[in-house]
Amino acid sequence: MKQWYQRRVRGTVRVLLTFPVFAICYISGIIVPKAMPKVVFLSEVYEAISLVFFLRLIITYLGGKKRTKASLKGNYVALNSPPLCCLVCLPHIKFTRRFFVLNEILILQLVLVQLVLGYIDLLIGLDESHDYPTSMIEETYSHVFHILVLVSLVLAVYGLGGIYHSAEEHLS
């Protein structure tokens, strides 16, 4: 019992640390403007990791992965949860192991995408081999990377929402 309590507390603290981490990162970026690209990279990676922490917290509150899958199996889940809530024609499906794994993959892909694209964007932003301020190619890459990260974030939030909404009655 004590072990589960400690895991819940640790998980809650990790999720709640998102806001102080962002605040410290961006304040330090304001104080030291040259550090802003690095600060943005660190905060985006922590954002992705905090979504994984939130998933782990839900799983911890439900008693672990096996118990989560067992207790949620057979529940009906609405596919029209945010950000697809406008699509009322989407059906309700049964919660299965496959649905859980798919949503878990949707959440975990954000960490990989944020890390890889953020790192590439950071390297491009730190390239000081030219004298002019920002090239058009740099801006284009940066915009494309941010759009891809945004799509990845939306998919991760959708996956987290799918698991959260199916577990909502068990968590209350």
The per-residue pLDDT for range 15-43, each reduced to its tens digit, is 999 999 999 999 998 999 888 888 989 99
Q: Using CA atoms, how far apart are residues 163 and 87, in angstroms rounded to an integer?
A: 18
pLDDT at residue number 156: 92
Q: Is the pLDDT of residue 52 over 90?
A: yes
Q: Is 36 helix (H, G, I), strand (E, B) or coil?
A: helix
pLDDT at residue number 132: 56
| Band of pLDDT at residue 64, cut at 50, 70 and 90 | confident
Give the C-alpha distances (Å, rounded to integers) separating 114 from 32, 48, 51, 120: 23, 7, 12, 10
Sign of the CA dihedral with 69 first, then 72, 78, and 83 last: negative
Q: What is the pLDDT of residues 102-154, one digit of tens each?
A: 999 999 999 999 999 999 888 887 776 655 556 677 778 778 988 999 999 99
92 φ, ψ (degrees, to nearest 5): -90, 135
| Band of pLDDT at residue 162, cut at 50, 70 and 90 | confident
Write out the two tokens for 87. 């699509």
More confident residue, 16 or 75: 16
The answer to whether the beta carbons of residues 81 and 95 sit under 8 Å apart is no
Q: What is the pLDDT of residues 89-100, one digit of tens each?
A: 778 888 888 888
pLDDT at residue number 131: 54
pLDDT at residue number 45: 92
- Nearest CA-CA partner of 165 in 64, 72, 98: 72
Q: Using CA atoms, how far apart are residues 155 and 159, in angstroms rounded to an integer?
A: 6
Length of the chain: 172
More confident residue, 23 or 74: 23
Q: What is the bridge-based pairing of β-strands 92-94 and 76-78?
A: antiparallel
DSSP H helices in the chain: 2-16, 18-31, 36-61, 65-72, 97-126, 136-171
pLDDT at residue number 141: 79
